[in-house]
């Protein structure tokens, strides 16, 4: 991988799949970045892109104020690939025809490839199922383009001009429902755009280690470990770069799942050799949460207390460094690329990134941020973690909310309710892992309905126990999600074990709501 890879720029026209397109490009070992459609062509070209991909979007090219494509983009000599709305905007900008034909297509659609010499469809069948979502259609391609595919509702479903290195498709090749979509995208990148496929996570490690050393020099660094994969991998990268210049702080708020605090204190330290300060704040958090059942109030309390505990620990570390004639000037954050995109690019300000949804540190604890993961997606972070030698139990951990089990208890939080939920959650995770399904499920929240009592029969007596809710979900990026269709025998084993082994639980239910309309977490 080159030190500064030339990016493929994904121009976001408001598509729900813009991030997915960028990920698919990276899966082809080509580096990609997302830019807004408002960026000028001059600014795009200043990035020296290897290619440009125009994403889909919700607008019609005929709608007032619909985003347009500057025709100058297509004469700059940079390869361009249009997808859905981007395809239509491209065709219109180059003199093709886009019309409301009345033949809308949504969902799975059969596509016929009509150009045997097509570079775009090389190695794919002449008939294939693709995922459509359009009302307007391109009815005639611009001059110089060959029409390479059509569907019943789209006379021009794909077009390409190999000489000018321009191409586009009406459908969404980035989604799994398009059978050969990844191959088509890779054909554009390699056969039409000529992009080198040399972007790897091994190269990411080398590059980030170099950047961290340049940024930090001989300075000291502090990092707040949460127990999740993002902060763990970020810390491991910084540790690889600057060694014992890094001190990690782990605030044990008592709201983690069974075994997770021990994994941080034992396994992470053993794998990295990092200097770790552990703050046992369980009683402090439980005391602050006593009697609080409103979920938003719980989040704010946890965020507030986390910052206060971290402040105290950081001040002690800063004071110790000061006594040695040194200062701590840098703070590690596990910011990922989706965080950067969704925040409009990130400001780089010295505020702790809150998985607890909290604000910044006080003025007397101002740090310069070190964000080694800010160009990576979650799956890439996991791969980097594996290559750094982190334990699989940490690398493959499901996403977990910063407020922890507190927001998976519907009702007030106390030690006994945490015991119940922690035990039920451990059983669910254990059975999911033993069935070999833990990597197929994005998240598996287990929820305790603490303020609900349900009648049951256990032994020869009538019981009034708490219901437990299982919420297994599958997702690409957590922006949308669907409930995971776990095998019935797996669900049955989880239910039987929870009701048999966890005192005060007599009912297990399954949440089968997608997102939207439901969220992944209950609170």
Residues classed as catalytic: 84, 172, 174
Task: Fill in the DSSP letter of residue 515.
Answer: B
Q: How far apart are CA 370 and CA 363, in angstroms?
A: 18
3-class secondary-structure state, position 12: strand
If phi > 0 it is left, if psi is from -120 to 50 it is alpha, else beta; for residue 8 that is: beta
Nearest alpha carbon to residue 168 among 191, 154, 188: 188
Looking up tokens 């922690």, which residue turns up? 422
Q: What is the DSSP string of 251-275?
A: EE-S-SPTTHHHIIIIIIHHHH--E
ω into 517 cis (within 30 of 0): yes
- Residue 224's alpha-carbon distances to 210, 234, 393, in angstroms, are 22, 10, 19
Judge contact between 315 and 365, C-beta under 8 A. Answer: yes
Judge contact between 184 and 169, C-beta under 8 A. Answer: yes
Q: How far apart are CA 344 and CA 360, in angstroms?
A: 18
Residue 73 CA to its chain's centroid (Å)? 30
Strands 461-470 and 505-510: parallel
Residue 74 CA to its chain's centroid (Å)? 32
Judge contact between 317 and 311, C-beta under 8 A. Answer: no
Judge contact between 307 and 361, C-beta under 8 A. Answer: yes
Phi, psi of 107 (to 5 degrees): 90, -160
For 302-313, the three-class secondary structure string (H helix, E strand, C coil) is HHHHHHHHHHHH
The DSSP element (H or E) to which 19 belongs, if any, is helix 18-27
CA angle 17, 232, 234 (to 5 degrees): 70
Phi, psi of 117 (to 5 degrees): -95, 15
């Amino acid at each position: 991988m080159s030190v500064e890879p030339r990016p493929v720029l994904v121009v976001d026209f408001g598509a729900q799949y813009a991030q997915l397109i960028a990920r698919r490009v990276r899966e082809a070992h080509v580096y990609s970045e997302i830019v807004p459609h408002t960026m000028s062509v001059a600014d795009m070209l200043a990035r020296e892109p290897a290619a440009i991909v125009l994403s889909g979007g919700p607008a019609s090219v005929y709608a007032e104020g619909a985003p347009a494509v500057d025709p100058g983009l297509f004469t700059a000599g940079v390869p361009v690939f249009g997808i859905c709305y981007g395809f239509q905007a491209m065709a219109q900008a180059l003199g093709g025809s886009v019309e409301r034909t009345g033949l809308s297509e949504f969902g799975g659609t059969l596509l016929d490839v009509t150009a045997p010499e097509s570079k775009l469809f090389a190695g794919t069948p002449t008939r294939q199922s693709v995922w459509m979502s359009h009302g307007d259609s391109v009815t005639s391609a611009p001059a110089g383009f060959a029409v390479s595919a059509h569907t019943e509702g789209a006379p021009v479903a794909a077009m390409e001009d190999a000489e000018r290195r321009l191409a586009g498709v009406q459908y969404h090749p980035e989604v799994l429902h398009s059978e050969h979509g990844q191959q088509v995208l890779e054909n554009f990148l390699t056969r039409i755009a000529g992009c080198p496929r040399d972007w790897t996570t091994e190269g990411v490690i080398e590059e980030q280690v170099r950047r961290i050393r340049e940024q930090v020099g001989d300075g000291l660094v502090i990092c707040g470990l949460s127990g999740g994969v993002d902060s763990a991998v970020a810390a491991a990268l910084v540790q690889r770069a600057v060694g014992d210049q890094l001190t990690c702080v782990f605030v044990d708020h008592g709201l983690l799942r069974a075994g997770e605090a021990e994994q941080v204190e034992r396994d992470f330290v053993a794998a990295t050799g990092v200097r770790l300060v552990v703050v046992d704040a369980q009683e402090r958090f439980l005391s602050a949460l006593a009697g609080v059942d409103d979920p938003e109030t719980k989040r704010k309390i946890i965020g507030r207390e986390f910052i206060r505990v971290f402040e105290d620990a950081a001040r002690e570390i800063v004071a110790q460094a000061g006594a040695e004639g040194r200062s701590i000037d840098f703070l590690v954050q596990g910011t990922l690329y989706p965080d950067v995109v969704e925040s409009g690019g990130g400001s780089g300000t010295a505020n702790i990134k809150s998985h607890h949804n909290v604000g910044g540190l006080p003025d007397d604890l101002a740090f310069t941020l070190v964000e080694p993961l800010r160009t990576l997606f979650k799956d890439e972070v996991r791969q980097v973690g594996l290559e750094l030698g982190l334990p699989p139990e940490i690398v493959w951990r499901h996403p977990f909310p910063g407020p922890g089990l507190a927001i998976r208890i519907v009702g007030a939080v106390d030690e006994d309710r945490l015991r119940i939920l922690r035990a039920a959650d451990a059983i669910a995770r254990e059975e999911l892992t033993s069935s070999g399904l833990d990597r197929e499920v994005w998240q598996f929240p287990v929820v305790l309905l603490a303020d609900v009592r349900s009648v049951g029969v256990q032994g020869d007596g009538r019981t009034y126990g708490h219901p437990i809710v299982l919420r297994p979900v599958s997702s690409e990026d957590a922006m949308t999600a669907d409930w995971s269709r776990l095998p019935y025998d797996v669900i049955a084993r989880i239910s039987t074990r929870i009701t048999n082994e966890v005192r005060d639980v007599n009912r297990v239910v399954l949440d089968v709501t997608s997102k939207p309309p439901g969220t992944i977490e209950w609170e």
